[in-house]
Structure 1
Amino acid sequence: MQTKPFRVLGVQQIAIGGPDKGRLSKLWVELFGLEKTGDFKSEKENVDEDILRIGKGSHAVEIDIMQPLDPEKSPKVHIPPLNHIGLWVDDIEKAVSWLEQQGVRFAPGGIRVGAAGHKVAFMHPKGNEQFPLSGEGVLIELVQAPADVIRDLG
């Protein structure tokens, strides 16, 4: 097998679409506290997008929240929204507790050890009557960051 001429170094961007980016903004900006750094609209690409940032310097990741300008036209930036993303958190117990108090629904199973050995909890992709806030169609995994990630990214 030939040596790969590049390396994957981390997450640069995650794009999440929905029929109403206002609901996405409630989650990503208001509840998670991400910074909006710009916006982008394109008739050709049928998109109205807010550009957000999480992290600092070279460790920063761009999160684009998008809605279609016309839901009947293509491309349909909201279908599919996204399957799953993982986010480092510095204190998973406090994060889950606070988010639940804000009305965020979590998937069954609570906080548990995930496949990589870190504590994880999954935000449900759909809200319900008791917990109306959710990942807005996206399954979001909160992951307890190890000390070195907290040191480097915190």
Structure 2
Amino acid sequence: MNTISTRPFKVLGIQQIAIGGPDKKRLQKLWVDMLGLEVTGSFQSERENVDEDICAIGRGPFKVEVDLMQPIDPEKKPAVHTTPLNHIGLWIDDLPLAVQWLTANGVRFAPGGIRKGAAGFDITFLHPKASEEFPIAGEGVLIELVQAPLEVVNAFARLAHQPG
């Protein structure tokens, strides 16, 4: 297995936190009304059974998205309002290279491959459960890998070279 020193990509930071519930209005009460996050957009996908509000905290390359999700149909899968579909998103500097390397090293991905996500970035998901063929997974957590735009890659590179 490859070592950390040969990993050909970097996790730059948290891109998003996704929180699902049966009614996103209830989620908005806490995250928008009480905590003051700004609603910056919305997204709906029949295929992914999701109706979400995209909120934000922070600015520029350090903005973190907080997605408040509810299912379009509570009886269908995926069930974005159940705990397993709550997930964390990580900025990745080179998503295709990361997927290739992680797959070659036994990491299991959820079906769907790399595709456009709600915020317009290329995304893919690490499966929350391992399998015999792919023994490494999210251990119960769905993890979204998100292709970082150049401004985010550059901002994190500048931070890495600052003293302190």
Provide the TM-score with structure 2 as the length reference: 0.48
Find the aligned partners of 1:27 and 1:9 in 2 and give their Cα distance: 28
What do residues 58-97 of structure 1 show as CA deviations (whole Å, max 9, x unaligned)?
100011110001100111011116489xxxxxxxxxxxxx
Matching residue within 77, 81, 87 for 1:78: 81
Q: How does 1:1-150 map to 2 (within 5 A)?
A: 1=3, 3-80=6-83, 82=86
Tell me, yes or no, if the aligned pair for 2:43 and 2:51 is still in contact at 8 Å: yes
Letter in 1 for 2:49: N
Find the aligned partners of 2:25 and 2:54 in 1 and give their Cα distance: 13
Tell me, yes or no, if the aligned pair for 2:49 and 2:77 is still in contact at 8 Å: yes
Find the aligned partners of 2:7 and 2:41 in 1 and give their Cα distance: 34
Find the aligned partners of 2:23 and 2:37 in 1 and give their Cα distance: 18
Provide the TM-score with structure 1 as the length reference: 0.51
Tell me, yes or no, if the aligned pair for 2:31 and 2:37 is still in contact at 8 Å: yes
SS in 1 for 2:13: coil
Tell me, yes or no, if the aligned pair for 2:42 and 2:52 is still in contact at 8 Å: yes
RMSD (Å) for aligned C-alpha atoms: 1.8
Letter in 1 for 2:19: I
Q: Which runs of 5+ in 2 are unaligned?
A: 89-164
Runs of 4+ in 1 over 4 A off after TM superposition: none
Question: How many aligned residue pairs are there?
Answer: 84
What do residues 101-141 of structure 1 show as CA deviations (whole Å, max 9, x unaligned)?
xxxxxxxxxxxxxxxxxxxxxxxxxxxxxxxxxxxxxxxxx
Find the aligned partners of 2:76 and 2:87 in 1 and give their Cα distance: 22
